[in-house]
Amino acid sequence: MAERAEVVFVDGVRTPFGRAGEKGMYWNTRADDLVVKAIIGLMERNPGVPGERVDDVAIAATTQTGDQGLTLGRTAALLAGLPKSVPGFAIDRMCAGAMTAVTMMGASIGFGAYDLAIAGGVEHMGRHPMGSGVDPNPRFMSERLVGEDALIMGATAERIHDRFPAYTKERSDRYALRSQQKVAAAYAAGNIQADLIPVATRSDSGWGLATQDEAPRPETTLEGLAALRTPFRAHGRITAGNASGLNDGASACILASGQTAKELGLGVKMTMVSFAFAGVEPEVMGLGPVPSTEKALRKAGLSITDIGLFELNEAFAVQVISFLDHFGIDDDDTRVNEYGGAIAIGHPLASSGVRLMNQLARQFESHPEVRYGLTSMCIGLGQGGTVIWENPHFNTKGASR
């Protein structure tokens, strides 16, 4: 059997992330138009990628209905102007939709079936709130297959606090504050804007242009966070301040075989090393990244000490803390979420996986001393996903990190 092909991350982009709801900047924007805009922007900044060479387009969404339905990969490809010969499909793994699109396209390239693919995701949580229109099978409750709050993400995060008393609300708030501060610093340094595709917006006051994320609150203070209410439980620990918000946004990236990238003269930002998904108890879904990371490390023949940069999706501060604590990493370790995370930027479910990859790819450029990095996230219904990447800019003469 032939050796698997090298899988490379050529480039990734996203729209600015908006706040979900009537006051959000994308309230009058269609969900499919967001991901179409991301794909158009991606192709425009990669003129060396011939549209007809794209083997497949995988686009994820959690709530696939209305303007966020209709086999998104195919419809978005057509709307973005890709040749009609390019196929596409839709995919769903809740929060890890885009991550799964990337791993499935990456696996297809590694297997040798594809040379070039587009993967991404979209979530318009304003038009399509999480869980809208679903009808959970009554057996989940009648046979006690899951706890009654397993489908309420904030409640599952409260259960992590219950299970680990050392993860206090103060610790979560402190982590959340740092996320806001790191995002503000990354914006000031121009590290985030480079991968954003501007989107035209429409509101009662007229037309506008979204050029940056709507959710960050750089003015956040520890005192302000401490005063926020706990909506999932009286005297609880989860607040709007130490959790990701409800957001709208889309992302897309180009993956290729190493040979195809070389043939077309494409830049390589990262190389895929391994990936893994794992299941945990749905009641504590935030713990999912621990077994998925252990599995991905095992498959790569690496240990956690080999990882020099971490991009962890901040669904909840306590969820990230549980990951760091398990692997013996400090809450404020500089290798973790250098540009901040979802607590400040937002988490439009199925699109977030590529955001993590965009940020890791940019950090790889400025950290030639780092050889390996990972992107990881928790997933609703009790799952975790992890992708390990290698830095093409790694300088063997530099100090390893």
**What are the residue numbers of the active site?**
95, 347, 378
| Beta carbons of 102 and 354 less than 8 angstroms apart | yes
CA distances to 126, 132, 269, 361 from 392, in Å? 38, 42, 7, 10
Chain-centre distance of CA 288, in angstroms?
Answer: 15
Cα–Cα nearest to 197, from 356, 372, 27, 37: 37
- Characterise 204 by phi-psi region: left (phi > 0), alpha (psi -120 to 50), beta (else): alpha
Distance CA 96, CA 61 (A): 9
The phi and psi torsions of 344 (rounded to 5 degrees) equal -95, -45
Phi, psi torsion values for 201, nearest 5 degrees = -125, 160
Six-digit token string for 136: 């959970």
Partners of residue 227 on adjacent β-strands = none
Tell me the C-alpha distance between 324 and 331, whole Å: 7
DSSP label at 335?
T
Residue 158's H or E segment, with its range, is: helix 153-163
